[in-house]
């Protein structure tokens, strides 16, 4: 920050296994989004190393990193980041253009993904014509367009009401269960974190605790149990 050096993360050591469903939870300013950016190969640490599938990402070329961001990792953001002039279908096909997927296949896959997130009837609508929850579902479909192994979601329910937020988390949970995707969710909300099978608590740039749930977890604070 100008001449001021701010240490955001301090001595973080974290392993996320293939097929995990992890929540990184903590208050604003705790470092959780910075940690997610490191995991997603958007940022690099000033000290220490980040390994993805056994490879030190700081030793990869820009082209290799671009391929990872394009195919290996799918991103879901709090602000949706949809292009306002494009329809839902066009927003979902966009990442496939950069991977040189043929047009016919792009459209077929985008339609299938939008149907999966229950937006079959909204494919021709632009973002301004969609609710916040619908826009986030388009963003999830877009994140899945190149069939990534890992989905990273930064406060994916932060701009949504509780009902829409639960729907988004149910979609992510289904992707984990049915598609065996590795999913990492950053949130400040314990109810959202409780959908995950592992919860990493971040406080003041350090891991305060790390809980794994093997068979079942409590969720939504209502004593209802949810089996995995």
The answer to whether residue 14 is domain-embedded is no
The answer to whether residue 205 is domain-embedded is yes
The domain in which residue 69 lies consists of 21-227
In this predicted structure, the answer to whether residue 144 has a pLDDT above a threshold of 60 is yes
How many domains, the chain? Answer: 1
Identify the weakest region by mean pLDDT among 35-39, 66-70, 189-193, 201-205.
66-70
The answer to whether residue 2 is domain-embedded is no
Q: Which residue pairs from 59-68 have beta carbons closer than 8 angstroms and sit at least 24 positions apart in sequence?
A: 65/41, 68/41
- pTM for this model (two decimals): 0.86
In this predicted structure, the answer to whether residue 222 has a pLDDT above a threshold of 80 is no
The answer to whether residue 11 is domain-embedded is no
Give the model's pLDDT for residue 168. Answer: 94
What CATH number does residue 107 fall under? Answer: 3.40.50.300
Q: Which residues contact 137 (CB under 8 A, 6 or more apart)?
A: 117, 118, 119, 167, 168, 171
CA distances from 89 to 73, 92, 103 (A): 20, 5, 12
The answer to whether residue 16 is domain-embedded is no
Give the model's pLDDT for residue 216. Answer: 44
Instruction: Give the tens place of pLDDT for each residue, 79-111.
Output: 999 999 999 999 999 999 988 899 999 999 999
In this predicted structure, the answer to whether residue 63 has a pLDDT above a threshold of 70 is yes
The answer to whether residue 4 is domain-embedded is no
The answer to whether residue 27 is domain-embedded is yes
The answer to whether residue 3 is domain-embedded is no
């Amino acid at each position: 920050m100008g001449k001021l050096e701010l240490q955001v993360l301090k001595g973080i050591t974290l392993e996320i296994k293939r097929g995990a469903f992890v929540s990184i939870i903590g208050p604003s300013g705790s470092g959780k989004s910075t940690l997610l950016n490191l995991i997603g190969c958007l940022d690099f640490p000033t000290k220490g190393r980040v390994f993805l599938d056994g490879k030190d990402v700081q030793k990869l070329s820009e082209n290799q990193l671009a391929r990872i961001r394009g195919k290996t990792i799918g991103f879901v953001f709090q602000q949706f980041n949809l292009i306002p002039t494009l329809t839902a279908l066009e927003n979902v096909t966009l990442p496939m253009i950069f991977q040189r997927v043929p047009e016919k296949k792009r459209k077929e896959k985008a339609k299938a993904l939008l149907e999966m997130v229950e937006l079959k009837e909204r494919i021709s609508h632009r973002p301004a014509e969609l609710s916040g929850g619908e826009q986030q579902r388009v963003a999830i479909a877009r994140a899945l367009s190149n069939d990534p192994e890992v989905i990273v979601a930064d406060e994916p329910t932060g701009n949504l009401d509780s009902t829409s937020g639960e729907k988004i988390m149910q979609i992510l949970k289904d992707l984990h269960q049915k598609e065996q995707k590795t999913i990492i969710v950053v949130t400040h909300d314990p109810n959202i974190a409780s959908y995950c099978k592992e919860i990493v608590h971040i406080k003041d740039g350090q891991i305060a605790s790390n809980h794994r749930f093997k068979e079942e977890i409590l969720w939504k604070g209502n004593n209802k149990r949810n089996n995995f």
